[in-house]
Structure 1
Amino acid sequence: MKKSPVILTLLFAFCFCRSYAQSPLFTNAVGVQAYTYRNSWTGGIAKVLDSVKVLGITEMEGPNPKGISPEEFKKLLNERGILMPSIGVDYGLISKDPYQMVTLAKTFGATFVMVAWIPHSNTFTIDDAKKAVAEFNREGKILKDNGITLCYHDHGYEFGPYGNGTLLDYIIQNTNPDYVSFEMDIMWTFHGGGDPAKLLYKYPTRWKMLHLKDIRKGIANDLTGGTSTNNDVALGTGQLDIPGILKAAKAIGIQHYFIEDESPNHASQIPVTIGYIKGLTE
């Protein structure tokens, strides 16, 4: 029986809408933070990287673990098709010698240098924030002049109130956007009382990368910037609204996503995380 043009048009529209509704939400490369394997490297660096490759992970945020030079580690990464677009460095090291961090980043072909912790006493204060802002602006200019972008990775303790917002707002608003960008750790953002998706939309040009992690249900938020590693769970099984966060990240153009699972169960949890994010649709 010959179908009328109207029926064919409706069928096409239905199929198109169905296909569009089921398009994948997460389409970027899957990355992982090297710190995830901090207790595994001693069992064999090449062996760990082989397991990373098997998972389909093609990006790693470094730098190299202990016991191997940056050059040797880069060679192992290259042999497995794993890129290192970003490296994490200590606040004290980059303050002391930002040029050394530039050299390290270029060894890996990284275009981002990330700092994940601002030294402070029990409570993170405005004085801590002001000092960090001055340091980041200084270091960020040096890095930019050498083709590298400095990113600060929030850790939850920056969500103490200040002015009309938080201390994190102060840091973002007072660092020079030409020199300083940010990497959001979505779990620490949530744990500190922030809303990851809203913050991504609030500062759409400042966020460049994401750490993907989730926190066990029932764990209360606080400003310590710390919780038991046993509270790290596979994405989609904890408290965070992962689809909402990934939708916001996609909307503002985040390109690099690194799974960071600090749990002793990371080997069993990371495949669940990858399956979950790859199964999300929009």
Structure 2
Amino acid sequence: MKNRRIYLALIILFLASEMVLAQKKGEPLMQAPLGIAAYTFRDQWQNGIPETLDIIQEMGFKEYEGGVPKGASPTEFKKMLNDRGISIPSTGTGFEALEDDPQAVAERVKALGAKYVMCAWIPHKRGQFSKEDADRAIKVFNEGGKVLKENGITFKYHVHGYEFQPYEDATLFEYLVENTNPEYVKLQMDVMWTHFGGGDPVALLKKYGNRWVSLHLKDFRKGAPKDMTGLTGPENDVPLGTGELDIPGILSESNRIGIKHMFIEDESEKELENLPKSIAYLKSLEY
């Protein structure tokens, strides 16, 4: 009788999962609003802030992550974004700024009306990220993240690939995550840099679940060399769907764990050519 009950329960679970899949079939796999990372347009701002924002709007981006380009105040820039129907949920900070004065970082974030601030780089000797570097970051992230939370802001660390140096029976990335307070320190996965450093994006999304709050979406040229420097040439950043990464798997797992913000970041030197290809690829993906 007990085995029969277990069997019936499994059948019910199977049928329920099939119903969910049937309901989702045909829905876009990209569930979050289309977002853009400011670094993508690093070569365009010199042509004019309004002109660059017009390009961003015309491409269909609804969210922007980054700081204020030179030549505008936070108030002016925020208005220019709002006038184009673009929100700014997230901005960035340098490591030393967070270390020196997290309250000043909080004030800059609040001036933009953002709810998240990310740090994308921990100081270290190239290719030699160490436990001492990780320990310094753990202290800065826990202490700075607490100040930011007290100001209504969520801090997130942007994974850059060099953190996957082996440590004991795991990696320094795992050491970093497990020694930061989840109340104060969340994570942003740059899927290409994670892959570049030897991490498995889908497996890591599953392992750390709701510690992840956003993604940087980019793809890596097939067969290009990888290492743990967190640095590679712009020619290795290719349109989404043309490289080595399992973008459908990443999006599917991101949806499952509830990630709400995904930003395309194109670090190539052909961003205006590549971005429409990446957007079209994302729009083509369905359950």
Distance 1:82 1:194, change over 3 A: same
Given the alignment of the two structures, is residue 106 of structure 1 paired with residue 110 of structure 2, yes or no?
yes
**In structure 1, how many angstroms separate the alpha carbons of the residues matched to 2:82 and 2:22?**
40
Q: Secondary structure at the match of 1:204?
A: helix
Q: Which amino acid aligns with 1:211?
A: H
Map Cα deviations across residues 30-80 of structure 1 (whole Å, 9 max, x no partner).
000011111110001100100111111010001111222212111111111
Distance 1:17 1:32, change over 3 A: closer
Q: Which amino acid aligns with 2:154?
A: T
Given the alignment of the two structures, is residue 221 of structure 1 paired with residue 245 of structure 2, yes or no?
no
8 A Cα contact 2:197 2:230, kept in partner: yes
**In structure 2, how many angstroms separate the alpha carbons of the residues matched to 1:20 and 1:139?**
40
Q: Matches of residues 149-168 of structure 1 in structure 2 within 5 Å?
A: 149-168=154-173
Alpha-carbon shift at residue 19 of structure 1 (Å): 7.1
Q: Which amino acid aligns with 2:102?
A: P
Q: Unaligned regions of 5+ residues in structure 1, if any?
A: 1-15
Q: Secondary structure at the match of 1:248?
A: helix
Given the alignment of the two structures, is residue 280 of structure 1 paired with residue 285 of structure 2, yes or no?
yes
**In structure 2, how many angstroms separate the alpha carbons of the residues matched to 1:164 and 1:74?**
46
**In structure 1, how many angstroms separate the alpha carbons of the residues matched to 2:264 and 2:66?**
12
Q: Secondary structure at the match of 2:31?
A: coil
8 A Cα contact 2:36 2:63, kept in partner: yes
Given the alignment of the two structures, is residue 124 of structure 1 paired with residue 129 of structure 2, yes or no?
yes
8 A Cα contact 2:98 2:140, kept in partner: no
**In structure 2, how many angstroms separate the alpha carbons of the residues matched to 1:84 and 1:217?**
33
The equivalent position to 2:191 in structure 1, one of 186, 189, 201, is 186
Q: Matches of residues 166-205 of structure 1 in structure 2 within 5 Å?
A: 166-205=171-210
Q: Secondary structure at the match of 1:32?
A: strand
Give 2:17's aligned residue.
none
Distance 1:218 1:107, change over 3 A: same
Q: Which amino acid aligns with 1:180?
A: V
Alpha-carbon shift at residue 22 of structure 1 (Å): 2.4
Q: Matches of residues 135-154 of structure 1 in structure 2 within 5 Å?
A: 135-154=140-159
Give 2:78's aligned residue.
74
Give 2:99's aligned residue.
95
Map Cα deviations across residues 96-119 of structure 1 (whole Å, 9 max, x no partner).
111111111111111101000000
Map Cα deviations across residues 123-182 of structure 1 (whole Å, 9 max, x no partner).
000110011001100000000011001100011100011122111101100000011001
**In structure 1, how many angstroms separate the alpha carbons of the residues matched to 2:25 and 2:143?**
46
Give 1:241's aligned residue.
246
Q: Secondary structure at the match of 1:184?
A: strand
Q: Which amino acid aligns with 1:134?
A: K
Alpha-carbon shift at residue 17 of structure 1 (Å): 7.8
Q: Identity over the aligned pairs, expressed in percent?
A: 50
Q: Secondary structure at the match of 2:65?
A: strand
Q: Secondary structure at the match of 1:87?
A: strand
The equivalent position to 1:42 in structure 2, one of 35, 41, 46, is 46
Given the alignment of the two structures, is residue 52 of structure 1 paired with residue 56 of structure 2, yes or no?
yes
Q: Which amino acid aligns with 1:192?
A: G
| Aligned residues between the structures | 267
8 A Cα contact 1:38 1:65, kept in partner: no
Q: Which amino acid aligns with 2:146?
A: K
Q: Secondary structure at the match of 2:209?
A: coil
**In structure 2, how many angstroms separate the alpha carbons of the residues matched to 1:150 and 1:79?**
27
- Using the size of structure 1 for normalisation, the TM-score is 0.92
The equivalent position to 1:209 in structure 2, one of 190, 193, 214, is 214
